[in-house]
Amino acid sequence: MSIQSNSKTVPASFADLAERLMPSVVNISTTQTVTTTTNPFPFQFPPGSPFEDMFKEFGTPQERKSSALGSGFIIDEKGIVVTNNHVIQDAEDIIVRVNGTEEYKAKVIGADPLSDIAVLQLETDDKFTPVSFGDSDKARIGDWVIAIGNPFGLGGTVTSGIISARNRSIGLSRYEDYIQTDASINSGNSGGPLFDMNGDVIGINTAILGRNGSIGIGFSIRATRTRRSRASTRTLAKAPRTSSCRRSSNTAARLHVEPPR
Give the residue numbers annotated as catalytic, written as ranges.
86, 116, 190
Encode burial over 103-132: b for 16+ CB neighbours within 10 A, e otherwise: ebebebebbbeebbbbbbbbeeeeebebbe
Closest CA to 147 of 208, 68, 76: 208
Bridge partners (DSSP) of residue 28 are 70, 96
Contact between 204 and 192 under an 8 Å Cβ cutoff? The reply is yes
Contact between 110 and 236 under an 8 Å Cβ cutoff? The reply is yes
- Tell me how crowded residue 1 is: count the other CB atoms within 10 A of its CB: 2
Q: E strand or H helix at 53, and its extent?
A: helix 50-54
CA 251, distance to chain mean position in Å, is 19
Q: How far, in Å, CA of 211 to CA of 188, rounded?
A: 14
Closest CA to 180 of 221, 136, 219: 219
Distances (CA, A) of 97 to 37, 120, 141, 221, 254: 34, 13, 33, 23, 35
Contact between 165 and 181 under an 8 Å Cβ cutoff? The reply is no
3-state secondary structure of 15: helix
Q: How far, in Å, CA of 172 to CA of 252, rounded?
A: 6
Report phi then psi at 235, rounded to 5: -110, 20
